[in-house]
């Protein structure tokens, strides 16, 4: 059973990584979906971001705060294991639980009936056995959720692109109807170009505005450089160089402001770290208290004993 659970948890981790963070979207057709999965990310997932990743990190942090024994447990994708079972896990909806039970019932009606009874008697044990017995259905649910996330992420990014860079969005729309391969090649290029701006609009609108302006200035710079290389007129070349200097000066101001924002973020992070240091020191002081130590050791020993005592099923 431990091996089976490990397989399920590894599958959950694979899907979480795919969801977690922003460079991959669901596509129509099996061939297109394979290309999506080869990229392995959705918008916002680059560098380990995304809603699932953020939620998982928050849950893991909470789990670590709840128990002094967190690091004593195996740290798998399901979080800390043990009697409390407080680690982050792939939560199933009632509809998904019903779907898994129906699948088990088709293979083994008696087992499905046993699980239904167990669901009322011991919900935690029920979920463990459900995940173990319903590995096939769990896999389908993971893949379905991933597909839904990809589609939603794609739609959100394209909606943003239509609002901010309409010509790029129109070109993508035309390619999608004519040539799917060219569409996704162009999409990747557009995504790489605008991804940081897209992400920062939700996190730091001021920085997003600076990035937009900087992108426009860099495009103007490249255009001017092309003209400078091509022109044979000394007078025209002088005018172009003057325009280039103005563009570079504007970029310089943006770079300074961007650095200021980074500095302000570092100060904020430093304040947060100082607060964490203070709390950590207080926690250590508390744990060093003899009474607290004795109580924690006694409670943990009881938990470990209770965990290994087989439960009789009436």
Q: Report whether pLDDT(314) > 90.
A: no
Give the pLDDT confidence score for residue 305 in this predicted structure. 81
Kindly indicate the confidence band of residue 236, based on its pLDDT and cuts at 50, 70 and 90. Answer: very high
Distance CA 110, CA 144 (A): 28
Q: Token pair of 58, please? A: 């928050």
Backbone angles phi, psi at 80, to 5 degrees: -65, 140
Kindly indicate the confidence band of residue 10, based on its pLDDT and cuts at 50, 70 and 90. Answer: very low
Q: Token pair of 33, please? A: 């979906």
Question: Is 53 in contact with 45 (CB distance < 8 Å)?
Answer: yes
Which DSSP state fits 76? E
What is the average pLDDT score of the chain?
Answer: 77
Residues with Cβ within 8 Å of residue 239, at least 6 apart in sequence: none
Q: Token pair of 122, please? A: 């011991």
More confident residue, 77 or 263: 263
Residue 75, strand partner residues: 80
Kindly indicate the confidence band of residue 91, based on its pLDDT and cuts at 50, 70 and 90. Answer: confident
Give the pLDDT confidence score for residue 302 in this predicted structure. 86
Give the pLDDT confidence score for residue 18 in this predicted structure. 40
């Amino acid at each position: 059973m431990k091996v089976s659970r490990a397989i399920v948890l590894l599958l959950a981790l694979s899907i979480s990584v795919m969801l977690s963070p922003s460079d991959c979207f669901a596509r129509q057709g099996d061939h297109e979906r394979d290309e999506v999965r080869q990229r392995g990310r959705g918008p916002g997932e680059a560098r380990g971001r995304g809603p699932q990743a953020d939620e998982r990190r928050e849950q893991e942090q909470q789990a670590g705060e709840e128990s002094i024994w967190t690091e004593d447990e195996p740290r798998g994708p399901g979080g800390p294991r043990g009697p409390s079972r407080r680690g982050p896990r792939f939560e199933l909806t009632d509809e998904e639980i019903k779907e898994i039970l129906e699948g088990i019932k088709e293979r083994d009606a008696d087992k499905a009936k046993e699980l239904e009874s167990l669901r009322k008697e011991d919900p935690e044990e029920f979920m463990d056995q459900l995940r173990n017995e319903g590995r096939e259905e769990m896999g389908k649910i993971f893949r379905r959720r991933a597909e839904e996330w990809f589609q939603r992420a794609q739609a959100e990014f394209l909606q943003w692109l239509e609002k901010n860079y309409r010509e790029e969005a129109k070109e993508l729309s035309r390619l999608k109807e004519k040539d799917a391969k060219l569409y996704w090649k162009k999409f990747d290029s557009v995504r790489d170009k605008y991804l940081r701006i897209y992400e920062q609009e939700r996190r730091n609108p001021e920085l997003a505005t600076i990035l937009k302006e900087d992108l426009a200035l860099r495009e103007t710079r490249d255009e001017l450089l092309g003209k400078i290389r091509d022109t044979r007129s000394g007078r025209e070349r002088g005018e172009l160089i003057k325009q280039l200097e103005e563009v570079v000066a504007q970029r310089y101001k943006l770079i300074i402001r961007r650095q200021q924002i980074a500095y302000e973020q570092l100060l904020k992070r430093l304040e947060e770290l100082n607060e964490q240091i203070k709390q950590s020191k207080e926690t250590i002081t508390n744990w060093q208290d003899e009474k607290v130590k004795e109580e924690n050791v006694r409670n943990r020993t009881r938990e470990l004993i209770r965990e290994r005592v087989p439960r009789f099923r009436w």
